[in-house]
Amino acid sequence: MKYLNPNRLYHALGRRKFLEFTLFTVFLLFFYSPLMNTVMLAFANVYRVPAVIPQQFGFQWWSFILSKESLMSSIFNSFVIAIVATAVSLIICVPAAYALSRYQFRGRRVLMFSYLLTNAFPKMGLYVSMGILFYKFNLMGTFAGVIIVHIINTLMFMVWLPMGALRNIHRQQEEAARDVGATPLQVFRKVTLPMAMPGIAVASIFTFLGSLEESEGTMLVGFPQINTMATEMYGVISDYPATAGAVFALILIVPSLLILFLFRKYIKPDSVFGGVKIK
Amino acid sequence: MRSPKVQLKRVTKKYANGDGVENINLEIYEGEILTLLGPSGCGKTTLLRILGGFNAIDDGEVLINGNNVVQLAPEKRPTAMVFQSYNLWPHMTVFENLAFGMKLRKMPRTQIKEAIKSMLDLLKMNGTEKKYPNQLSGGQQQRIAIARSLLLKPSVLLLDEPFSALDAKIRMQMREELKKIQAQLNITVMFVTHDQEEAMALSHRIVVMDKGKIAQVGTPTEIYDQPVSKYVASFIGEMNFIKEADGELAVRPENVRICSGNSGNYKGTITSIMILGHFASVHINYEGQDVKAFVARSASFELCETMPVSFELIKYQRYKKGA
C-alpha cells in the first residue's frame, strides 16, 4: 500500500499523469462498480444491507432462479419475441428506408420526422392510448400486440440507419449492375442490400436488444399472458431479495453481450451516426 | 467499318426544366469512336443514357444492330456503360466485379476465369483479382470498369466522361490505351466528354452539341478546320474573331502570319508576347480588337511589345451576323 500513497504517486508520475490517472480511476469506478456490484451480489447467498461485501458467497440464488419455470420460459419467450420483432421490423422498414433514400416526394421530411415522434412522447402515455386501440382490435394479451409495441419502439432506428446506409450507395453503382444484366430485383439483392448491410445489421441489433429489454409496453399489452425476461425482472425485484435480481440481471446481460461481440465489426461510429441525418 | 451499328432517329427527350435533346438523328458505324462533345447541360449525357436504356425517350427510335431497343430495359440491351465514377461495387473483389455480368449470363466458371484473365492481361492489370476496389487507384478502377464492360462483348461501349475524375497525366495515358484497345478489338464506342482536347485526340468523328441539338458532326479535322457556326468555332481549339461590317472572321492563331514590313493586309500594335515552349503567343491590338497569333520562337525574337506590325490571315471562316 505504501506505493499507492497519493503524495508519492503525484511526485512519481508528474502532475499531468497523476490527474489523468485519477480521472481514469474515477471513471472506471463510476462505470463498472454497479456492474461489479451486481456480479458480486449474484454470487452471494446472504447479503444484508449496510455491508458492502456479502456475508456469505455461493450459488444458492442461481439454483433458485434456474429452477423457477416461469423465469426460464420467459427467457424463451423473450428470444422468440425479439427474433420475430426484428424480422417483421426488417420487412417493414428496409423497403421504407429504400423508398426514402431513393425517391423524392412531397412530405418526405415530415414522414421522416414522424418516426421521431414515437420516441418524443412519454412512453407510458403512448402505451395507454395504444392500449385503447388494442382493446378494440383484440390485441391485448396477444403475441401480435407485443410485437407491434416492440416494433413501434425501434421504428426510428430501423428506418433511419438503413436509410443512411442506402443513401451512401451511388446511383451509378446500381445502374452499373443493371447495365451488366441484372434485373431490378437482382440489383437489390446482389448490390444494394449487401452494400447497406452494415447499417441494416446495426439497426437489427438495436431492435433485437431493444426488444429483449422492453418491459413497460410488454407489461401493459402482454400481461399476464405474455411474459418476457424484462417483465419477469419486475416480479423478481419486488418479490425476492436483491441477490435474486442480480442473478437475473446477469442472465439478461448475456445475450446482449453475445450479440454485441458477434457483430462488433459492424458497430462503428460510422455506421451508427452516418444514418442519423434529416435531409 | 461502314455499316451503321447504332441509329438514332428523331430522338427527343425533354426534361421539365427545358434541358434534354431534340430531334436527334445520328448514326454510329461499326468500329468507330464517336464523341459527343459539348458544355454541361447540352444533352450529351442524356443521349448516352438513352442509348444505355437509363432514360426513356419521348419520341423517336433507337436502333442497335437494326433492332429497335426503345422498349428494352438496360439489362436487356447489348450496350455496356462506364460512368464517370463509382462504377465498381466496393463489397466485391475485382474478380467478382468482373464476373458479375457473366455469372448472370450463366457462363461456365472456367470460361469466366479465362475471359477475366485474358482481359486483365490486355489491360495490364493482372494480379489484381483478389483486391477490393478501394485498394486500386482511380485510374485502375476505371480500367476495371472498362474491362467489365468489354467482357460482355457489347455491340456498343458507352463511356460517360470516364477519365474526367483522373489527374491530367493518367488521363492522357488512359486515352492512348483506350484508343489502342479499341483498334485491337474493333469495338464501337460512344464517348461523352466536355473536354475538346480529349475529343480531338480520341475520336474518329465528333458530334458537337448545343442546347440539346447537334451543332456539327464531322472528323476532328473537319470540325477544327471548317466549323460550321460560330458556336462550334469558339468551342473547339483557340479562335480569334475579327468583327467586320456584315459579320465576323474566325481565324486560328496559327493562321495569323505576322509579315515583315508593311506587306500584311491588317495593321496593328503588339500588346504582349508570351513564350509557351516551342512557340510564342503574340497579342496584337487591331482596331481595338485583340488578335492572337502563334509565332515560331525563333521568329518571336524580332518582335517586341508596342511594336507596330502588319499581319495576314492564311485561312479563315466567315460567319454572317447572327449565325
**What ipTM does this complex have?**
0.83
CA distances from B41 to A95, A275, B165 (A): 33, 32, 18
Chain B hits for A183, Cβ within 8 Å: 73, 75
Peptide bond into A34 cis (omega under 30): no
Q: Chain A: nearest CA to B81, how far in angstroms?
A: 7
Amino acid A275: pLDDT: 47
Residue A260 CB neighbours (<10 A): 12
Candidates A93, A229, A211, A96; CA nearest to A158 is A93
Residue A25 CB neighbours (<10 A): 10
Chain A hits for B54, Cβ within 8 Å: 175, 178
E strand map for A20-70: 44-46, 56-57
Amino acid B117: pLDDT: 94
Chain A hits for B84, Cβ within 8 Å: 172
Chain B hits for A173, Cβ within 8 Å: 86-90
Per-residue pLDDT, averaged over B302-309, amounts to 85
Strand order in the sheet with B317-320: B240-243, B247-251, B317-320
Closest by Cβ to A178, choosing from B75, B89, B90: B75
Looking at residue B36, its amino acid is L
CA A172 to chain centre: 35
Place A277 in a pLDDT band, splitting at 50, 70 and 90: very low
Dihedral, B285, B291, B294, B300 alpha carbons, nearest 10: 0
Domain residue ranges of chain A, discontinuous segments joined by +: 2-62, 69-273
Q: Give the list of residues 6+ apart from residue B180 with CB closer than 8 angstroms, or none.
A: none
Nearest residue of chain B to residue A181 (CA atoms): B75
Candidates B323, B318, B322; CA nearest to B242 is B318
Instruction: Say which residue the cell 428506418 belongs to.
Output: A159
Return the C-alpha cell found at A189. 439483392
E strand map for chain B: 4-14, 20-29, 33-37, 59-64, 67-68, 79-82, 156-160, 189-193, 205-210, 213-218, 240-243, 247-251, 256-259, 266-276, 279-286, 289-296, 308-313, 317-320
Amino acid A273: pLDDT: 52
Cβ contacts below 8 Å, chain A against chain B, sum to: 64
Closest by Cβ to B54, choosing from A175, A190, A191: A175
Chain B hits for A170, Cβ within 8 Å: 85-86
Assigned fold of A69-273? MetI-like fold (1.10.3720)
Amino acid A270: pLDDT: 59
Eight-class DSSP state of B252: -
Tell me the C-alpha distance between B84 and B160, whole Å: 6
Let me know if A14 is exposed, middle or buried by CB neighbors in 10 A (0-12, 13-18, 19+): exposed
CATH architecture of B239-320: Beta Barrel (2.40)
Candidates B152, B145, B154; CA nearest to B174 is B145
Q: Say if residues A192 and B90 touch (Cβ distance below 8 Å).
A: no
Q: Is the CATH code 3.40.50.300 the one for domain B4-230?
A: yes
Q: State whether B152 and A170 contact (CB < 8 Å).
A: no
At A136-164, the pLDDT tens digits run: 998 888 899 999 989 988 888 888 888 88
At B175-209, the pLDDT tens digits run: 999 999 999 999 999 999 999 989 999 999 999 99
At B26-36, the pLDDT tens digits run: 999 999 999 99
Nearest residue of chain A to residue B149 (CA atoms): A180
Q: Chain B: nearest CA to A181, how far in angstroms?
A: 4
Closest by Cβ to A178, choosing from B74, B90, B105: B74
Q: State whether A179 and B79 contact (CB < 8 Å).
A: yes
Q: State whether A180 and B52 contact (CB < 8 Å).
A: no
Per-residue pLDDT, averaged over A272-278, amounts to 48
Instruction: Say which residue the cell 456503360 belongs to.
Output: B81
**What are the φ/ψ torsions at residue A4 (nearest 5 degrees)?**
-100, 5
Tell me the C-alpha distance between A90 and A93, whole Å: 5
Q: State whether A182 and B75 contact (CB < 8 Å).
A: yes
Chain B hits for A195, Cβ within 8 Å: 89-91
Residues of A engaging B, defined by a Cβ cutoff of 8 Å: 170, 172-173, 175-183, 186, 190-191, 194-195, 197
| β-bridge mates for residue B242, sequence order | B249
Q: State whether A179 and B80 contact (CB < 8 Å).
A: yes
| SS3 (DSSP) at B110 | helix
Q: How many Å is the Cα radius of gyration of chain A?
A: 24
Q: State whether A172 and B80 contact (CB < 8 Å).
A: no
At A199-228, the pLDDT tens digits run: 888 888 888 988 988 888 888 888 788 888
Instruction: Say which residue the cell 479499341 belongs to.
Output: B182
